[in-house]
Amino acid sequence: MTAAKNLAACLLMSYALSAGAVEANNHIRVLAASCAACHGSNGNSVGGTPVLAGLDRTYFVTQMMAFRKGDRPSTVMQHHAKGLTEVEIELLADYFAAQPRKASASPMPLNF
Amino acid sequence: MLRRDFLKLVGAGAALGALPQPSWASVTKRIIIIGGGYAGATAAKYLRLWAGEAVEIVLIEQSTTFISCPLSNLVLGGSKKIGDLTFNFSGLDNYHVKRLYAEVTAVDVTKRRIVMDDGDELGYERLIVAPGVDFMWESLPMLQSSDAQQIIPHAWKAGEQTVNLRLQLETMTDGGVFVISIPKAPYRCPPGPYERVSQVAFYLKNYKPKSKIIVLDANPEITSKKSLFTNAWADLYPGMIEYRANSQVMEVDVANRTVKTEFETVKADVLNVIPPQRAGKVAQLAGVANVDKRWCEVDFLTYESKVAPNVHIIGDSVSAALPKSAHMATSQAKVCASAIANLLAGQDPDPQPVFANTCYSYVSDKLAMHVANVYRYDSAKKVMLPADGGGVSDKPSEQEGKFAQAWAKNIWSDVLT
């Protein structure tokens, strides 16, 4: 009986964790994708801004917290860092750290 | 699927270089996206990334080219050419997006079918409407004809109209008067008209310094980055720009390039009337522009219409206290694509979407400034609200001018490849 209870509790917990993981994944994939306007698809910037793909997660978190506190001066990043929760910053750090670095393509302008 | 649908899609695929497609037999769900601007093109790509191959994605767009509105004011200033901002859609082939060059003439939201200008019909599981804005010519009927728009361009959809306005500025004599009319908010790109004023001033200062600019703004004040623009105009273009608030254009004498507001009549040498705007035509056709018959009310978790199930609206057509910007259009497209992928998989969409918006404006060829905000879903009010900490630049700078170029290159890469 106790074993069965434990098993049920374990199953419930793993279900809760996986449901939470799906939810976090949905949340972060959209938030991370909205960084693409400046930092490229999956953080692979085509130039002019830092590449976030494959960035060390601790470094990412430290820099975002520094933007938030104003310890690292910035033009635009403090406006974004201040709008995110600490959990979101951690999850973004995980997300970008897991992205492979690769050269993003650029569309060819028709140049007429 | 009707046989003619099949033939048309195969034809489109063949003409554009057919790529491996999911087999027809296995395709059960078709998502149609109408409009291939920042919102529609992004939705097409990200739906494929997040919904996988078991969904057919059809993008219907009237134009064979994507012309960026962001940076198009620089064509007026002279530091960009329209060809620098013009791309094709071939990058979407990597995502197996079927592209149709057609105009949608009817949408039946009950039968879930759309009709195109050649009479062909196509059914959908879900429809994404991303038509940008339409102009409310009924408020300025004298500008409705394409002939009138040749003389008095709006240049509020980038392309031939932008080039037309640039050519008129090139032809204007030194000492001429450029008049721009700005409609009441909401309209596409809140700081755009003031960036345009700055770009025209940049050109005139360098080539026709005796010229004047008169800004007739229907709004009570500059609607975005107010003090930044006011200071930049005073610093960079002293004495050149006259700004007149609460000046809504009521009438236009097309041949004489003259406008009437409630208070005065103003004669221009080059006249740019940016007309009042509403949700794009397809949104009107689908009956989803339910707010003042103008904008589309959506559920901000999915961007599904509040009045038509299975129809989603993204980009400038959405009724929201969100700026109608390109970055915003792509962020809405991503929330929508993610939610549709979830719904197809039987999952709940993210109950609290969050995204960022960054918008740069150039006040010369090199100096730019931004407004940036994170937007967060408020579950009590059921709307997207700006999070704490957003704001604007301290001042325009060359560094931000470089960031603005990087923004454009990265967003083009993200949307089109």
Contacts B393 to A, Cβ<8 Å: 75-76
With an 8 Å Cβ cutoff, is A80 touching chain B?
Answer: yes
**Share above pLDDT 90 across residues of chain B, in percent, rounded to a whole number:** 93
pLDDT of A31-68, one tens digit each?
Answer: 999 999 999 999 999 999 999 999 999 999 999 999 99
- Cβ contact (<8 Å) for B356 and A35? yes
Q: How far is B347 from chain A (nearest CA, A)?
A: 9
The amino acid present at B20, given as its one-letter code, is: P
Q: Which residues of B touch A68 (CB under 8 A)?
A: 389
Residue A104 within any structural domain of the chain: no
> How much is the pLDDT for A111?
78
Both tokens of residue A3? 């074993």
Distance to chain B for A20, nearest Cα, Å: 11
Give residues with Cβ within 8 angstroms of A56, minimum separation 6.
Answer: A97
Residue A9 has a pLDDT of 52
- B40/B334 Cα distance (integer angstroms): 10
Nearest C-alpha in B relative to A45: B410
In chain A, residues with a C-beta closer than 8 Å to the C-beta of B50 are 29
Of B350, B353, B409, the CB nearest to A106: B409
In a domain, A12, yes or no: no
Question: At residue B360, does pLDDT exceed 70?
Answer: yes
Min Cα separation A8/chain B (Å): 23
Rounded CA Rg of chain B: 22
Whether residue A4 is contained in a domain is answered as: no
Residue A43 lies in a domain: yes
Instruction: Please say if the pLDDT value at position B24 is more than 90.
Output: no
Mutate: best of B350, B378, B379, partner A, most A CBs <10 A: B350
> For B390-403, how does the pLDDT look when each residue is reduced to its tens digit (9 = 90+)?
999 999 999 999 99
CATH of the domain at A40: 1.10.760.10
What is the per-residue pLDDT for B143? 98
Report the half-sphere exposure of B392 (CA within 13 A, side-chain side): 14
Does A68 map to a domain? yes
Mean of pLDDT over chain B: 94
A14 assigned to some structural domain: no
Cα–Cα distance measured from residue A53 to residue B179, given in angstroms and rounded to the nearest whole number: 46
Answering whether pTM is above 0.80, one says yes
A45 vs B410: CB contact, 8 Å cut-off? Answer: yes
Does A4 have pLDDT greater than 70? no
Q: In chain B, whose CA is at the least distance from the CA of A42?
A: B414
- Residues B218-254 pLDDT 10s: 999 999 999 999 999 999 999 999 999 999 999 999 9
Q: Residue A98: pLDDT band by 50, 70, 90 thresholds?
A: very high
Q: Which residues of A touch B391 (CB under 8 A)?
A: 79
Burial class of residue A41, CB neighbours in 10 A (0-12, 13-18, 19+) = buried
Mean pLDDT, rounded, for B14-42: 71
Give A-chain residues touching B67 at CB under 8 angstroms: none
Answer whether residue B7 shows pLDDT above 60.
Answer: no
- pLDDT of the residue at A22: 75
What are the tens digits of pLDDT across the range A21-39? 777 899 999 999 999 999 9
pLDDT above 90: residue B23: no
Say which residue, B23 or B83, is predicted with more confidence.
B83
Residues of A in contact with B374 (CB under 8 A): 79-80, 82-84
Structurally, how many domains does chain A consist of?
Answer: 1
**For residue B297, what are its two tokens?**
């009310």
For residue A50, what pLDDT is reported? 97
Say yes or no to pLDDT of A14 above 90.
no
Distance (Å) from the alpha carbon of A25 to chain B's nearest alpha carbon: 9
Quick check: is A11 in a domain?
Answer: no
Residues of chain B with Cβ-Cβ distance to A41 below 8 Å are 413-414, 417
Q: Which residue does chain A place closest to B85, by CA atoms?
A: A109
Contact A27 B334 (CB under 8 A): no
The pLDDT of B107-116, averaged and rounded, is 98
CB B414 to CB A48 under 8 A?
A: no
Q: Taking a C-beta distance cutoff of 8 angstroms, is the pair B309, B298 a contact?
A: no
Contact with chain A for residue B414, Cβ under 8 A: yes
Sequence-separated (6 or more) residues with CB below 8 Å from residue A85? none
| Beta strands B265-267; B258-260: pairing state | antiparallel
- Residue B393 and residue B145: Cα distance in Å, rounded? 40
- Give CA–CA dist B222/A39, Å, rounded: 30
What tens digit of pLDDT does each residue of B277-307 get? Answer: 999 999 999 999 999 999 999 999 999 999 9
pLDDT tier for residue B10 given thresholds of 50, 70 and 90: very low
Residue A2 touches chain B, beta carbons under 8 Å: no
Rounded to a whole number of angstroms, the distance from the CA of B208 to the nearest CA of chain A is: 26
Decide if B361 contacts B198 (C-beta within 8 A).
yes
- Give yes or no for A111 touching B (CB within 8 A): yes
pLDDT higher at A20 or B348: B348
Q: Is residue A62 part of a domain?
A: yes
Under DSSP, is residue A41 helix (H, G, I), strand (E, B) or coil? helix
Nearest residue of chain B to residue A26 (CA atoms): B350
Q: With 70 as the cut, is the pLDDT of residue B6 above it?
A: no
Question: Chain A within 8 Å of B407 (Cβ-Cβ)?
Answer: yes
Residue B55 near residue B47, CB atoms below 8 Å:
yes
Q: Do A40 and B413 touch (CB under 8 A)?
A: yes
Give me the domain span that covers residue A36.
21-98
- CA atoms within a 13 Å half-sphere pointing along the CA-CB vector of B130: 33
For this complex, say whether ipTM is above 0.85. yes
Of B83, B390, B405, the CB nearest to A112: B83
